[in-house]
C-alpha cells in the first residue's frame, strides 16, 4: 500500500477489484486521473489536449466495469462504450466516462454534472443491458491483451518438455532438496517467519503477505503437493487449519479462513491461509467472477467429498477450501 494519502499502488487497485467482485456491479467510480486510451474509438474534439492516462486505471476500470466513471481534468464526455465482445461474450451494460474541470475555473468549463441514476440492483437485466445507438467498442481491449502478455512472461514454472529458465531476478526453489526454500532443515529456509512446528507440518508467515495474518501450512520435509500427503500428514494439516488464530501472535479478531493451494509442477507443497473479512458466498462469487473473465472451469466439492478423486495425480490445479469444508 502507498504511504502517501494522495497516491495509490497496484496493490491498492487489487483490493478494489476484490471488493468489487463481491458486489453485483458498480454504479459510479470516481478517480482523479484518466485511464490511458479512454479516447480510443472516438473523435477527439478540436484543440483538445488529452490528459496523460494511467495504465493501471485502465485495467481497473475494465475489470470492475462501472456504469459511470467520473475523472478530473478538462471537461469531456465520452460516448458510452460496451463491456463485452459482440457475439463472443454475454451482453453487459455500457460505461460512460465523464471528465469535469476544476470548480470555478477561469474558462468556465463545465465542472458540475447533475443526473438521475437508479441503482443497478433496482433495474431489470434487460433494461440495464440496453445499448445506446452511439455505443462504441471497449477502448481498453489492447491494454488487457498487453497486460496478459506481461503476466505470461512472468510465469516461471516448468512444464513437460519445456525447460525454460526462471528469470534471474526471481529464482525459484532449486530442484535439489537441500536448496529448497521451504524444507525446514534447509539452510535457505527463513526460520524467523516460522510460528509453530508440528510432527510433519509447520506454520509460517507468508513472505509476500496479503494481510498481517496471512500464513502458510508447509510440510517439514520435501513434498510436492497435498496429493502426496499420507493420512498422518493430512491430519497435521487439519490441526493447523482448525486453529490458526490460536497460534498467530497478536491475533485479536477471528474471521472465516480461506485455504488455498496452487500446484503447477512446483517443488514444495504449501497451503496458504487468509482471512478476507467476507462471507463464504461472497468469496465464492469472486472466484466465479474471475473464472468467467479468464475462461477457467470451477468444480465445487461439497463437505465430505474427496477432491483428490477428481484431480489426477501430478495434474496442475488450484484448490480453495473454506471453513465449512466446501472446496
pLDDT for residue 160 is more than 50: no
DSSP 112-147: --------GGGS-HHHHT---TT-B--TTHHHHHHH
pLDDT at position 282 is 79
Task: For residue range 25-47, list pLDDT tens digits in order.
Answer: 899 999 999 999 999 999 999 99
Q: Is the dihedral of CA 171, 173, 174, 178 positive or negative?
A: positive
Q: Are 280 and 326 in contact (CB under 8 A)?
A: yes
Q: Which residues contact 219 (CB under 8 A, 6 or more apart)?
A: 182, 200, 201, 229, 233, 268, 269
HEC profile for 183-238?
A: CCCCCCCCHHHEEEECCCEEEEECCCCCCCCCEEEEECCCCCCHHHCCHHHHHHHH
Task: For residue range 214-246, list pLDDT tens digits in order.
Answer: 788 888 888 878 878 888 888 888 888 876 555
- Helices and strands (DSSP H and E) totals, the chain: 7, 11
Strands 26-30 and 66-72, by their bridges, are parallel
Q: Are 131 and 82 in contact (CB under 8 A)?
A: yes
Q: Which residues contact 131 (CB under 8 A, 6 or more apart)?
A: 80, 82, 91, 94
Task: For residue range 286-306, list pLDDT tens digits in order.
Answer: 888 878 777 788 888 877 777
pTM of the model: 0.54
Q: Are 20 and 63 in contact (CB under 8 A)?
A: yes
More confident residue, 48 or 280: 48
* 227 backbone dihedrals φ, ψ, rounded to 5°: -60, -25
Instruction: Please give the mean pLDDT across all residues of the chain.
Output: 80
Amino acid at each position: 500500500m502507498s504511504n502517501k494519502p494522495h497516491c495509490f499502488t497496484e496493490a491498492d487497485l487489487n483490493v478494489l477489484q476484490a471488493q468489487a467482485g463481491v458486489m453485483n456491479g458498480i454504479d459510479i467510480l470516481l478517480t482523479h486521473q484518466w485511464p490511458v486510451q479512454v479516447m480510443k474509438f472516438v473523435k477527439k474534439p478540436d484543440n483538445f489536449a488529452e490528459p496523460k492516462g494511467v495504465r493501471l486505471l485502465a485495467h481497473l476500470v475494465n475489470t470492475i466495469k462501472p456504469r459511470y466513471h467520473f475523472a478530473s481534468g478538462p471537461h469531456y464526455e465520452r460516448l458510452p462504450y460496451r463491456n463485452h465482445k459482440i457475439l463472443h461474450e454475454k451482453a453487459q451494460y455500457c460505461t460512460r466516462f465523464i471528465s469535469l474541470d476544476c470548480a470555478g475555473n477561469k474558462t468556465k468549463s463545465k465542472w458540475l454534472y447533475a443526473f438521475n441514476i437508479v441503482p443497478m440492483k433496482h433495474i431489470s437485466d434487460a433494461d440495464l443491458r440496453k445499448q445506446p445507438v452511439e455505443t462504441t467498442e471497449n477502448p481498453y481491449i489492447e491494454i488487457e491483451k498487453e497486460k496478459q502478455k506481461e503476466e505470461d512472461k512472468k510465469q516461471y514454472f516448468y512444464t513437460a518438455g519445456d525447460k525454460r529458465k526462471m528469470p534471474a531476478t526471481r529464482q525459484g526453489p532449486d530442484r535439489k532438496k537441500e536448496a529448497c526454500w521451504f524444507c525446514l532443515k534447509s539452510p535457505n529456509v527463513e526460520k524467523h517467519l516460522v510460528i509453530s512446528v508440528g510432527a510433519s507440518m509447520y506454520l509460517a508467515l507468508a513472505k509476500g503477505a496479503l494481510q498481517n495474518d496471512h500464513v502458510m501450512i508447509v510440510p517439514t520435509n520435501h513434498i510436492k503437493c497435498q496429493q502426496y500427503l499420507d493420512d498422518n500428514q493430512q491430519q497435521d494439516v487439519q490441526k493447523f487449519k482448525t486453529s490458526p488464530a490460536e497460534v498467530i501472535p497478536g491475533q485479536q479478531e477471528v474471521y472465516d479462513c480461506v485455504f488455498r493451494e496452487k500446484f503447477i509442477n512446483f517443488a514444495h507443497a504449501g497451503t496458504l491461509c487468509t482471512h478476507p473479512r467476507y462471507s463464504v458466498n461472497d468469496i465464492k462469487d469472486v472466484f466465479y467472477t474471475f473464472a468467467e473473465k479468464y475462461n477457467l472451469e470451477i468444480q465445487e466439492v461439497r463437505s465430505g467429498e474427496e477432491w483428490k478423486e477428481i484431480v489426477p495425480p501430478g495434474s496442475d490445479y488450484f484448490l480453495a477450501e473454506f471453513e465449512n469444508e466446501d472446496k
